Amino acid sequence: MHVNNSGIFGQMEIRVGFEISYAAEQPTPMVMMLSIHPSRFSDIVGTERIVAEPNVPIGFYRDGFGNVCGRLVAPAGGVTLKGEALVRDSALPDVMNPAAHQVRVEQLPDDVLLYLMPSRYCETDKLTDVAWSLFASTPPGWQRVQAIVAFVHHHVTFGYQHAHHMKSAHDVYEQRTGVCRDFAHLALTFCRCMGIPARYCTGYMGDIGIPPDPAPMDFSGWFQVYLSGQWYTFDARHNHPRIGRILMGTGRDAADVALTTSFGRMTLTKFFVLSDEVVPA
């Protein structure tokens, strides 16, 4: 249970930031998705600061999913991207609503249908038979999603050594290993196979309200499902409501929310992420 000076589950502030460096032999265009999601703009204390060193201009825009992206040209030699923000948070765990029901496909809003379709890392065509064999007998709605999350949580073994940028949901099911994005890909693919719209999420998630992790990783991947007319957060890696998620981007899968995309050869040389609760003095 999280307790702070505001009381049990009182409001808190979270300091987030990053420093990511790339080496480049020649000027290289880049797109980054490292900004806090617009749905959390009202929670930012002051302003979010994102800069490049050397100081090259960054042009910000919204992509087709509503995420904030920045475009720049990294100079020859490379670039360091730095960001920081202070974010107010409710200090409440992920919302649970066991009464949330599954919306019939024919009644879904047009813009939600996209999240039933196959995508780069989520091959519904390869996993539909598996999904129905596993989850057909579960009650539709919240209970079915929770059954999917529990299955993936126990089926897949977490380990950073299992990360691979080409790994798909079907690969994860077969190999039974992965990182947070792989847990999310497999779970959301199963949801789509069962007629439940699901989308991939990326953002900050520090070790807040839990024992410290000896190997913390403050960027994380999870997913959301569309039930009872709204999106709910689920996390197949942890399979437990968490405190202090700060959303950065949503999309069909991880391909839509890559932290950085370079249009040319670049080498990652530094990757530091911060997501810590600010403890009042």
| pLDDT tens-place string over residues 85-133 | 999 999 999 999 999 999 999 999 999 999 999 999 999 999 999 999 9
User: Which two structure tokens, joined as six digits, stand for 244?
Assistant: 């202090």
Cα–Cα dist 220/205, whole Å: 6
Strand pairing report for 3-4 and 44-53: unpaired
Q: List the end-to-end C-alpha distance of the chain, in Å, as a whole number.
A: 21
Q: What 3-state DSSP class applies to 187?
A: helix
Tokens read off for 224: 């959301």
pTM higher than 0.85 = yes
Domain positions in the chain are 3-91+259-277, 105-257
Q: Phi and psi (nearest 5°) for 50?
A: -130, 125
Beta bridge partners of residue 274, listed in sequence order:
17
pLDDT in single tens digits along all 281 residues of the chain = 344 433 445 699 999 999 999 999 999 999 999 999 999 999 999 999 999 999 999 999 999 999 999 999 999 999 999 999 999 999 999 999 999 999 999 999 999 999 999 999 999 999 999 999 999 999 999 999 999 999 999 999 998 888 888 899 999 999 999 999 999 999 999 999 999 999 999 999 988 888 776 665 578 999 999 999 999 999 999 999 999 999 999 999 999 999 999 999 999 999 999 999 998 87
Please check whether the two domains, 3-91+259-277 and 105-257, share a CATH topology.
no
Do residues 250 and 233 make contact, with C-beta atoms less than 8 angstroms apart?
no
Give the tens place of pLDDT for each residue, 186-204.
999 999 999 999 999 999 9
CB 271 within 8 A of CB 20: yes
CATH of region 105-257: 3.10.620.30
User: Are the CB atoms for 28 and 253 separated by under 8 Å?
Assistant: no
Q: Which of 72, 74, 92, 82 is closest to 50 using CA atoms?
A: 82
Nearest residue to 58 via CA among 33, 40, 36: 33
Which option is the CATH number for 3-91+259-277: 2.40.170.20, 3.30.1180.20, 2.60.40.2250, 3.90.1150.10? 2.60.40.2250
Q: 81 is written with which tokens?
A: 């991207």
Beta strand spans in 59-150 (E): 59-62, 68-74, 79-89
Nearest CA among 268, 242, 209 for reference residue 94:
242
Alpha-carbon span 101 to 177, nearest angstrom: 31
